[in-house]
Structure 1
Amino acid sequence: MERRGEAGGRVCMSQTVFPAHADHRGELSAGQLLKWMDATACLAAEKHAGVSCVTASMDDIQFEDAARVGQIITIKAKVNRAFKTSMEVGIKVTVQDVLTNVEKIVSVAYATYVAKPVGAGKIELEPIKLLSAQDHLEHTLAIERRRIRLGYEQVFENLMLESNKEDTFEDEDAVSTEFTHVQSIELVQPPHANHHGNTFGGQIMAWMETVASISARLQKAFELSL
């Protein structure tokens, strides 16, 4: 039996990329990958907490490589540090070509999950059992990453205040946002829900990525038409 706090906060998921997961270029869509990343990381958080968990935030994500149809995506997630009711989960995504057996890193990300026990009960998470030098390093860095996350809100507020003070100007070559505005209304259906029956963070991120991608393509199309 796995003990919570030891190997209980680790999950590995592998998935073959099928055409239904790909975009018009035959590459795994970022939205689909975000759904898989969130689902895997959430399970890692729930294995450690022993109760339901919800996505609180996900740090900046950069995709180092693309996965194509027929390749295998592997997502490893583990709880780096447990705070009182929240956890930082580290996520590592790799892609493997089944013909060449070459494996590449796609992304490394960090997400925060909050334990949500049923009813009015409260929970205080157990600390993580550190098994390796890498575990110790991630555990130490997690507190610094948390401090940075908590400071983001104030930083953005200051940036907005500063931007409002700056003089606005018209650029002759600027494209009106009217041409790149995209709105999507989604009906939440069973395929969009997690094992608790709720729309999960990964699905919301997938919808956001789809809309943002369409907006970016509209911008490019408009520029080419000029």
Structure 2
Amino acid sequence: MSCEKGDGDPMEDPLFILESGEVYRNPTEVKMSQIVMPCHANHCGELSVGQLLKWMDSTACLSAERHAGSPCITASVDDIHFEHTIGVGQVVNIKAKVNRAFTSSMEVGITVSCEDLFSSCQWNVCNAFATFVARRTEEGKVQLKQVIPRTQTEQMEYSIAAERRRMRLTHAEIITDLLSSNTAQLGECQEYQGAVSAERTRVESVELVLPPHANHQVSTFGGQIMAWMENVATIAAWCTLCLGQ
């Protein structure tokens, strides 16, 4: 973990000055800072990944709605790799902005960093990309306005966003093809000493959607669903670990 001293955000882009002399700020950018309280921690005393996913989803949704000018919903989130854990008392800084808008969907880039207020250390936690879709109105689908990239970083993300979208669509087709009856093949089952049966790690959860789980659109928001998924996955992982010992 690297420690960056000072007040600057380790993820902050260099200042971009407009012709008018004003400092440019991406109109879709949304920033959120949260201090990690004990109620946000898991059994290890670290920030629950599910809680972090909820914060990330909320920040990204605000960015998407700022661009769309209408309610948006989470369509998908790409793979996320968490580089560091976050402890109680540390500050989580989340930044989200729309990288590119397509017909009715848009890619939102999310960056998460952590800050220790007492040592002035800052470090990156993860980068993520989420796809949001503007809700249909009575007139039909919402036609999103295009994003105009200005900085070098924005231009790069704008260009790569189209390729990432193509890869998402291709990946979905590949998975569907692999799971089809024509291509799915059962591999040989091999016995491993100390192996744990997959059935013994199976975990199911039924959740009742309550008002605290709803967003401003009065429906369960994506971050809450991801938090429930992460909780069940964590229990299954612990089952594997405990049963294997």
Q: Quick one: distance in 2 between partners of 1:141 and 1:75?
A: 21
Structure 1, gaps ≥5 residues long: 1-5
- Match for residue 167 of structure 1? 187
Superposition deviation, residue 163 in structure 1? 7.3
Q: Quick one: distance in 2 between partners of 1:176 and 1:45?
A: 43
Structure 2, gaps ≥5 residues long: 1-24
* Structure 1 stretches of at least 4 aligned residues deviating more than 6 Å after TM superposition: none
What RMSD in Å do the two structures reach over aligned CA positions? Answer: 1.5
Over residues 161-214 of structure 1, what are the superposed CA-to-partner deviations in whole Å (9 max), with x where a residue is unaligned? 587324322414331122211111110001101111110111000000000000
- Match for residue 233 of structure 2? 212
TM-score normalized with structure 2 length: 0.85
Q: 2:168 aligns with which of 149, 153, 160?
A: 149
- Match for residue 74 of structure 2? 55
What fraction of aligned residue pairs are identical, expressed as a percent?
49
Q: Quick one: distance in 1 between partners of 2:136 and 2:105?
A: 12
Amino acid across the alignment from 2:202: H
Is residue 200 from structure 1 mapped to residue 200 from structure 2 by the alignment?
no
TM-score normalized with structure 1 length: 0.92
Change (3 A) 1:70 1:208: same
Over residues 58-111 of structure 1, what are the superposed CA-to-partner deviations in whole Å (9 max), with x where a residue is unaligned? 000000111100000000000000101000000000000011111110000000
Superposition deviation, residue 26 in structure 1? 1.1
Change (3 A) 1:113 1:56: same
Q: Quick one: distance in 2 between partners of 1:167 and 1:60?
A: 26
Worse overlay, 116-125 or 148-157: 116-125
Instruction: State whether residues 22 and 28 of structure 1, in contact with CA within 8 Å, keep that contact through their aligned partners in structure 2.
Output: yes
- Structure in which a larger fraction of residues adopt helix: 1
Instruction: State whether residues 80 and 142 of structure 1, in contact with CA within 8 Å, keep that contact through their aligned partners in structure 2.
Output: yes
**Which secondary structure state, in structure 2, belongs to the residue aligned with residue 38 of structure 1?**
helix
Amino acid across the alignment from 2:219: N
Is residue 71 from structure 1 mapped to residue 71 from structure 2 by the alignment?
no
For these two proteins, the number of residue pairs brought into alignment is 219
